[in-house]
Chain A
Amino acid sequence: MNIQESTRFAIQGVTANKVRSALTTLGILIGVAAVIILVAVGTGSSKAVADSISKLGSNVLTVSSTSTSAGGGRAGAGGPGGSGGFAALFGGGSATTTDSGTKSRSPQLTMEDARALTDKTTAPDIEGVAPVVSAQSVTATYQGASHSVGTFTGTTAAYLLINNDSIATGSAFTDADYNDHARVAVVGTTVAKDLAGGDGTSIVGKTVAFNGKEFTVVGILGSKGSQGPQDQDDVVLAPATAVQDTLSGYGSISQIKVKAASADTTSAAQTQVETVLDGRHGTTSSDRDFSVFNQAQILSAASSSNATFTVLLGAVAAISLLVGGIGVMNIMLVTVTERTREIGIRKAIGAGKGDIVSQFLLEAVILSLFGAIVGVAVGLIGAHFTIVGVQPVVAPYSVILAFGVALATGLFFGLYPANRAAKLRPIDALRYE
């Protein structure tokens, strides 16, 4: 009795009751497909987040305030005197700085903090600095159309460079606009389409009211698409000076975006940012009231939360695979009972324990193998569709794992019924009706 022979008997057994075998296989199939698709969704969303973060550039640092105390009273971030290039823009601005906060402890990030970072002698590895002033709940109106803006950012021209933003139509605002407190704005495609209709390009050159304050739209940003629920095209950029004049007031700024000269100097730039700001805020690494993130840190935070998400999805799918395995065991137990007499005949004419075990074990494995193969196919096909806004990315390990676990399930859950069959005494089995 060889394995071929046992396989033939097992295939005969499986095909003898096609509907039942198909239903049993379905349990394994769903389990395998679920593991592959759900892990692919998890991996896909990780990849989407990683992609959008890396689009920002690996040499961008984000400085944000960690203090919660209000610092709204600090005024005097007046327009710097110089022009032409942002280094000159901030570097030359000391003449008009009226603030006395230098070297004193300030709870929030200020325009002066941003300006200090442009000093090439204390921060040689920093290539660009852009302060970010946010205006909350801004509604844009244009010729009767209105749109609630997702993100309204006041910044400098350097922001577009740092953020890898491009201009699709029209032009960006300039440092001169910044210095002149010019009321100009660059809008994202979502905003443009919502206000002007069509492809939105007709809005360039027109005046749009943001919370009643009029800004002239000079350009439209290139589309960046969505990152999860956040539409990255639902943005408006304007010179920080004009935004402070009209919408946000002269309080603290929410972030400072810093671009290092290259990816290799990112950590040097980070140290320089911390040194300069520690000096200005009078803090040390232990009581720092701001924090500096680089993209790698944000990426690792995002991917660790995504990994948890993926594991959870995988676990749910694994449970369905286990249930499928129990289905195989159930059917094999029924089969063994049903075929008690056949087992008795086989044993009477010379089948050994091993022959019976291998026959029934192979039946269980064939059921789960078939389920696993079709399950992998269904999983790979299913992963081509976008699921809840995520384009799944099939992880090869999940395919191998699901397939292997399905087979192991068949073996494990087939073992008990097969042994039960083999243990039957031929005299009892033959008497069974």
Chain B
Amino acid sequence: MATTKPVIDLARVTKTYGEGETAVHAVAGVDLVVERGDYVAVMGASGSGKSTLMNIIGCLDEPTRGRYLLDGVDVRRRQEATLSRIRNRKIGFIFQSFNLIPRTSALRNVELPLAYAGVKPGERRARALAALDKVGLADRTDHEPSQLSGGQQQRVAVARAIVTEPVLLLADEPTGALDSHSTADVLDLFDELSAAGRTIVVITHEVEVAHRAKRILRMRDGLIVADDRTVPVHELPPAFRVKAAAS
């Protein structure tokens, strides 16, 4: 590791909606450090504050109080333009509903973050093709989202998330809209990415998904109530290790 800076460093972070009597503390004071290369699952029932926490980590929302360093950079009180640049450079998003741009080919979807980053067309195309190849969709580059299955769409979304080489992959219920076969595909992909050294944070309420991670956090009422590490940070994710041993 070239750097020892943690990817995520949250200190006493709160997020409050409303004021006074009616104030709702969606996140009530979270301290969290995620090291580079970790694979973390955040679990919790709906209303536990995990989505708000994910928005804060993803720089889509600002914490009311507390400090947040993303890859060593303080992201509080930044201009919107700066935040979109930070999101573009440091974070790859994977959403439950895929969130691909409709009527736009898989290749163009994957190229999009590079276009916003100002990468030249030639290089952009090469990198997007490489990312699509990595998720196993090299033969589907010209397909539009409506011509792809749910699992394929989510793999395009993963390709779009990794194409900028971000320090953090942030997945919000990535398998929530998928059948079991596609779920297995996407989770295997996550295992591979984790094995390759990527930092992944997955928000989920599915136990099977959480058990693929190296570390499981449980949230309730805006607080982290449990923090279980199953595998050390720099070792392979559990399912991947089993598979590697089997072959």
Given contacts A342-B101, A345-B101, A430-B95, contact A350 B61 (CB under 8 A): no
CB contact between B60 and one of A351, A354, A355, A427 (< 8 Å): that residue: A427
CB contact between A346 and one of B112, B117, B164 (< 8 Å): that residue: B112
Using an 8 Å CB-CB cutoff, how does the interface string of A301-336 with B read, 1 for contact, 0 for none? Answer: 000000000000000000000000000000000000
**CB-CB contacts below 8 Å: B28-72 with A:** 55, 58, 60-61
CB contact between B84 and one of A341, A342, A351 (< 8 Å): that residue: A351
Q: A353 contacts B115, CB within 8 Å?
A: no
Q: A352 contacts B99, CB within 8 Å?
A: no
Q: How far is the CB of B158 from chain A (nearest CB, A)?
A: 13
For residue B87, CB closer than 8 A to chain A, the reply is: yes
Q: B102 contacts A348, CB within 8 Å?
A: no
Report the separation of the CA atoms of residues A352 and B86 in the bound assembly, to the nearest whole angstrom: 11
What is the total of A-B residue contacts with beta carbons within 8 Å? 60
Q: How far is the CB of B200 from chain A (nearest CB, A)?
A: 17
Query: Which B residues lie within 8 Å of A350 (CB)?
Result: 84-85, 87-89, 113, 116-117, 164
CB nearest neighbor in B for A348:
B93
Q: B103 contacts A347, CB within 8 Å?
A: no
**CB-CB contacts below 8 Å: B111-134 with A:** 112-113, 115-118
For residue B81, CB closer than 8 A to chain A, the reply is: yes
Query: Which B residues lie within 8 Å of A2 (CB)?
Result: 118
Query: Which A residues lie within 8 Å of B93 (CB)?
Result: 348-349
Q: Which of A344, A352, A354, A355: most chain B CB closer than 10 A?
A: A352
For residue B160, CB closer than 8 A to chain A, the reply is: yes
Report the separation of the CA atoms of residues A346 and B88 in the bound assembly, to the nearest whole angstrom: 10
Using an 8 Å CB-CB cutoff, how does the interface string of A333-375 with B read, 1 for contact, 0 for none? Answer: 0000000011011111111111100000000000000000000
For residue B104, CB closer than 8 A to chain A, the reply is: yes
For residue A145, CB closer than 8 A to chain B, the reply is: no
CB contact between B102 and one of A342, A351, A427 (< 8 Å): that residue: A342
For residue B80, CB closer than 8 A to chain A, the reply is: yes
Q: A349 contacts B88, CB within 8 Å?
A: yes
Report the separation of the CA atoms of residues A2 and B93 in the bound assembly, to the nearest whole angstrom: 23
Query: Which A residues lie within 8 Å of B85 (CB)?
Result: 350, 352
For residue A1, CB closer than 8 A to chain B, the reply is: yes
For residue A392, CB closer than 8 A to chain B, the reply is: no
For chain B, the count of residues having a C-beta within 8 Å of the partner chain is 27
For residue A426, CB closer than 8 A to chain B, the reply is: yes
Q: How far is the CB of B232 from chain A (nearest CB, A)?
A: 32
Q: How far is the CB of B225 from chain A (nearest CB, A)?
A: 25
Q: B60 contacts A352, CB within 8 Å?
A: no
Using an 8 Å CB-CB cutoff, how does the interface string of B196-213 with A read, 1 for contact, 0 for none? Answer: 000000000000000000
CB nearest neighbor in A for B116:
A350
Given contacts A341-B99, A342-B102, contact A348 B60 (CB under 8 A): yes
For residue A5, CB closer than 8 A to chain B, the reply is: yes
CB nearest neighbor in B for A349:
B113
Report the separation of the CA atoms of residues A350 and B81 in the bound assembly, to the nearest whole angstrom: 9
Query: Which B residues lie within 8 Å of A427 (CB)?
Result: 55, 60-61
For residue A16, CB closer than 8 A to chain B, the reply is: yes
Report the separation of the CA atoms of residues A427 and B60 in the bound assembly, to the nearest whole angstrom: 6
Report the separation of the CA atoms of residues A426 and B88 in the bound assembly, to the nearest whole angstrom: 13
Query: Which A residues lie within 8 Å of B55 (CB)?
Result: 427
Q: B95 contacts A355, CB within 8 Å?
A: no
For residue A12, CB closer than 8 A to chain B, the reply is: yes
Q: A349 contacts B116, CB within 8 Å?
A: yes
CB nearest neighbor in A for B114:
A350
Query: Which B residues lie within 8 Å of A355 (CB)?
Result: 116
Report the separation of the CA atoms of residues A349 and B108 in the bound assembly, to the nearest whole angstrom: 13
Query: Which B residues lie within 8 Å of A426 (CB)?
Result: 60, 84
8 residue pairs A–B, Cβ–Cβ below 8 Å: A1-B116, A342-B101, A346-B116, A350-B84, A350-B85, A350-B117, A352-B116, A353-B80
Measured CB to CB, the residues of A under 8 A from B are 1-2, 5, 12, 16, 341-342, 344-355, 426-427, 430
Measured CB to CB, the residues of B under 8 A from A are 55, 58, 60-61, 80-81, 84-85, 87-89, 93, 95, 99-104, 112-113, 115-118, 160, 164
Rank and list the top 5 A-B pairs by shortest CB-CB distance, nearest first: A350-B88, A350-B116, A427-B60, A349-B113, A345-B99
Q: A347-B84, A427-B61 are in contact. List 18 more A-B contacts (CB 8 A).
A: A12-B103, A342-B101, A342-B102, A344-B99, A346-B112, A348-B58, A348-B93, A349-B88, A349-B93, A349-B116, A350-B84, A350-B116, A350-B117, A352-B116, A355-B116, A430-B60, A430-B95, A430-B99
